[in-house]
Amino acid sequence: MDQTAETAAKPAYKRILLKLSGEALMGEDSFGINRTVLARMVEEIKSVVELGVQVGIVVGGGNIFRGVALGATGMDRATGDYMGMLATVMNAMALQDACRNNGVEARVQSALNIEQVAEPYIRGKALRHLRLGRVVIFAAGTGNPFMTTDTTAALRGAEIGAEIVIKATKVDGIYTADPKKDPTATMFDEITFDDALRSNLKVMDATAFALCREQGLPIKVFNINKKGALRRVILGEQEGTLVHS
Residue ranges at the known binding site for UMP: 61, 81, 142-149
User: From the annotation, which residues make up the binding site?
Assistant: 19-22, 61-62, 66, 81, 142-149, 169, 175, 178
Binding-site residues for ATP: 19-22, 62, 66, 169, 175, 178
> Minimal CA–CA distance to 108: which of 132, 124, 84, 90?
90
Cα separation, 169 vs 110, in Å, equals 23
Q: Which residues fall within 8 angstroms of residue 6, CB to CB, at 6 or more apart? A: none
Q: Which residues, 6 or more positions from 73, have their beta carbon under 8 angstroms from its beta carbon?
A: none
What CA–CA distance (Å, rounded) separates 56 from 127? 10
Strands 190-192 and 241-244: parallel
Report which secondary-structure segment, H or E, holds 15.
Answer: strand 15-20
Q: How far apart are CA 189 and CA 37, in angstroms?
A: 26
